Amino acid sequence: MDDVQELCGRKTSCWDEKIASARSLRDRFPKELLAHRVLVSHALMVPRDFPTSDALRSDLRKQYADLSRRYPRNPAFPYLLARLERNRKKNRELLERSVALDPGFPWAREALVRALSWKPTEEERRLSHEHLEAFARACPARTGVLLSLLSGLEDRAAWEAHAPALRAATRPDGDRPEELKTLWELEFKFAEPTRFAFLRENVKVQLEALRREDRAADRRWLSALEEGYKLTGDDAGKSWVEETTLAKFPCEWSSTRIWLGRFEKEHGKFPEVEGDAQQKWLADQLAAMKPRLAQCPHEGFLWQLQLQALGMRDGVSPKSLLETGERVRAILGDAGGGPVADVWLDKGIALDRVAALIEAADRQADRDRKLVQAAGLDEEDLRQESFYQLYAKTYNRALRVRLGLARRDAAATTAALAGLESSMKELENVARTSGEKSMIAGRQAQLWKLRAEADVLAGREEDALAKYARAIEKNPDDKKILKAAEELYSRRHGAEDFDAWFKSAQRAADAASPEVTRAVRRPLPDFGLTDVAGKRWTAAELRGKAVFLNFWATWCGPCRRELPHVQKLHERSKDRKDVAVVTVSVDENPGLIEPMLKEEKYTFPVLVAGAGSFTKWAPSGIPQSYVVDPTGTIVEEQLGFGGDGDSWVTKMEERLRKAAAGSPGSLVAR
């Protein structure tokens, strides 16, 4: 099934062809459950923002609801209907009805294991185990499904009960190479880190056998090899998989990911500081993208990347920006409205068309909101989803303010600002977690910047400077705000006094942050975890030190950008007796940690916690960092990585120094 997503991407014609083929298969074999399952699976994978997506799913729901009424004793139809049901409560009710009709029907059992895995209670864990065992008894040969179900559970006992049979059934010479990936993940997931070296040797043996199968045209085979070479740290093997993937599947996301990785290896990361180095990097990226876009004209992500690069590049012609924006909009549909409007507004082009782009972004947001409302979420999940919906809404409303400013339309700007301010109040009322409040700070900074620009439009430049100061208070690392403030201040008062004005705004930012610090004050949870070197760590052993505790995963892009700076912090702190830098991996597959550490030459400690500990340790997301004082109290928290590089290291050193000294007024890291 994953092959369909890789193959079709955002090509509407491809999805139409696959759906038509699956529908034809079902209609030819109406009594074969597999034919129905293929059609439903394909329908669920069609991108939700496609115009035909909702109609397709709605049509299938009506069909299976009708079949369920016509054949009330057939367990297959409530099961198929459940798969198409967005509402979690209704989904579970339909699956339970299917099991009640026939306790031996395995696929309802399988779906219930997945349905019960979301924030399960103890009773739901018990039921998940019961349904898992029922499925395993009914379908012992369904190795891939069993592996997938076990991967979604934090149940060591269940894994150990099924592991011998699964190891025997999952072979390199079998016809389902993708199952090896899940088997390897489970092996590492439930093993002590002291066994990782032994497991890696086993993977090497299996990789040799898998490579001999020589199935280069099979995406699943290549994907399994890629995962195995990552686990074993085999650079030559990884390079061979990359070359083969680029040759066999040049226009799929897997190849785009490889291309981007290779570009960064050759040219380095995107420079953080504006200037010649940044412009050179962008020019190189655009030149490298040109032949790839010619080869893969339907690769939506690449076109969006091209648009972003053109938007940051100096001297780009309006024609190029227009053509690229139109291409993004054609491929991404309404979802492309916001990104295209953002770039066009920055460059001041096609302002007569930007309103339609913002309306498209609003339509997409409305569709997303309806999906959330239909999901039947519990109170906290609904609150969290509402936060993200409002967060997106403020982005669209900010675009409207920017359009009013670009047109120099004071009345439209004032009206749009009122709408943005209303959305911001809603957003602030919904926010609960420190992570959400951290996200809001960026939106608040943007709001103050837009207020400042509205004052400039109205001729109130001194009022605008006061608002720029508030924007800096909310986000002192936003370079666009700093640049706009400096230009206005220099025009009004001369460039020589700007530094003093800026330092005053920075002091206001520093004074504002202790409120957030106090809000996250809580004890560090007790823990006992082993690091990748086999050393056991406990919370008690960290008492008496100021601790920087960072949560990350190998798959997390912002984490990977932050970790070089964590390494610098570790190197500067490693000889101190009163400070410790410790990181915690929440990877699903902890076998991937050590190869990555060796590749990047990282030496900081990494505790293996696993994805199951995610909600206990870092409920707001990753990367997430805590500063813990010597009493074992978390006194500061940072969600995400702002990209301010070495200045972040310096700031964090100061925060650790204050925590070690017991200073009550330390700042939240930004």
Confidence of residue 509 (pLDDT cuts 50, 70, 90): low
Sheet with 633-639, edge to edge strand ranges: 522-523, 633-639, 624-628, 546-552, 579-585, 606-608
| Contact yes or no for 222/244 (Cβ under 8 A) | yes
Q: What is the pLDDT of residue 433?
A: 74
Q: Which letter does DSSP use for residue 666 in this model?
A: P
269-313, pLDDT tens digit by residue?
898 778 899 999 999 999 999 999 999 998 888 999 999 999 999
pLDDT tier at 670, thresholds 50, 70, 90 = very low
The arithmetic mean of pLDDT across residues 25-52, rounded, is 91
Distance of CA 585 to the CA centre of its chain: 16
Amino acid 266: pLDDT: 94
Query: DSSP string spanning 182-230?
Result: HHHHHHHHTS-GGGHHHHHHHHHHHHHHHHTT--TT-HHHHHHHHHHHH
How sure is the predictor about 253, in pLDDT bands with cuts at 50, 70 and 90? confident
Residue with tokens 């004209």: 297
| Buried/exposed code over 620-655 (b: 16+ C-beta within 10 A; e: otherwise) | bbbbbbbbbbbebebbbbbbbbbebbeebbebbbeb
Dihedral of alpha carbons 331, 332, 334, 337, sign: negative
- Residue owning tokens 């799913």: 57
* Parallel, antiparallel or unpaired: strands 536-538 and 546-552: unpaired
Residue 620: the pLDDT is 66
In this predicted structure, the answer to whether residue 59 has a pLDDT above a threshold of 90 is yes
**Which has more pLDDT, 332 or 614?**
332
Single pTM value for the model: 0.85
HEC per residue, 218-245? CHHHHHHHHHHHHHHCCHHHHHHHHHHH
Task: Kindly tell me if the per-residue pLDDT of 61 is higher than 90.
Answer: yes
* 504 has pLDDT over 90: no
Q: Where are the alpha helices (DSSP H) in 532-633?
A: 557-573, 593-600, 614-617
pLDDT value at 216 more than 80: yes
Separation of alpha carbons 451 and 437, rounded Å: 21
According to DSSP, residue 589 is labeled: -
**Mean pLDDT rounded to a whole number for the chain:** 89
Backbone angles phi, psi at 294, to 5 degrees: -65, -35
592/588 Cα distance (integer angstroms): 9
Say if CB 379 and CB 400 are below 8 A apart. Answer: no
Note the pLDDT of residue 510: 52
* pLDDT score of 638: 81
DSSP-assigned beta bridge partners for residue 639: 624
Which range of 372-381, 607-616, 648-657 scores highest in mean pLDDT? It is 648-657
**Cβ atoms of residues 500 and 465 within 8 Å:** no
Supply φ then ψ for residue 537, to 5 degrees.
-120, 145
Whether residue 661 is predicted with pLDDT greater than 60 in this model: the reply is yes
Q: For a pLDDT cut of 90, what percent of the chain falls above it?
A: 67
Q: Residue 431's beta-bridge partner residues?
A: none
For 330-341, write each residue's pLDDT tens digit: 998 899 999 999
- For 236, other C-beta atoms within 10 Å of its C-beta total 8
| CB-CB neighbours of 144 under 10 Å | 17
Exposure string (b/e) for 9-24, b if CB count within 10 Å is 16 or more?
bbebeebeebbeebbe
What does the pLDDT look like over 105-159, one tens digit per residue?
A: 999 999 999 999 888 889 999 999 999 999 999 999 999 999 999 998 888 999 9
Cα 552 versus chain centre, distance: 12
pLDDT exceeds cutoff 90 at 407: yes
Is there a contact between 347 and 65 (Cβ–Cβ < 8 Å)? no
Averaged pLDDT for residues 13-23 = 92
Q: CA-CA distance, 29 to 38, in Å (whole number)?
A: 12
Specify the pLDDT at position 667.
Answer: 33
Q: Which pLDDT tens digit goes with each residue over 583-603?
A: 999 999 999 999 999 999 999
- List pLDDT tens digits, range 189-200: 999 999 999 999
Q: Which two tokens stand for residue 14?
A: 């491809």
C-alpha R_g of the chain: 27
Q: In this predicted structure, what is the pLDDT of residue 291?
A: 95
Beta bridge partners of 523: 633
Burial class (CB in 10 A: 0-12, 13-18, 19+), 352: exposed
Q: Tokens standing for 454?
A: 């509205």
Q: What domains, with CATH codes, occur in the chain?
A: 170-249 (no CATH), 519-661 (3.40.30.10)
Which single residue is written with the structure tokens 């009122």? 418
560 close to 553: Cβ distance less than 8 angstroms: no
- Can you tell me the distance from the alpha carbon of 642 to that of 547, in angstroms, rounded to the nearest whole number? 20
One-letter amino acid at 227 equals: E
Whole-number Cα distances in Å, 127 to 117, 140, 142, 187: 10, 19, 20, 24
Task: Give yes or no for residue 666 having a pLDDT over 50.
Answer: no
User: How far apart are alpha carbons 308 and 169 in whole angstroms?
Assistant: 47
**Around Cβ 503, how many Cβ atoms within 10 Å?**
10
Its sign, for the CA torsion 582, 588, 594, 597, is negative
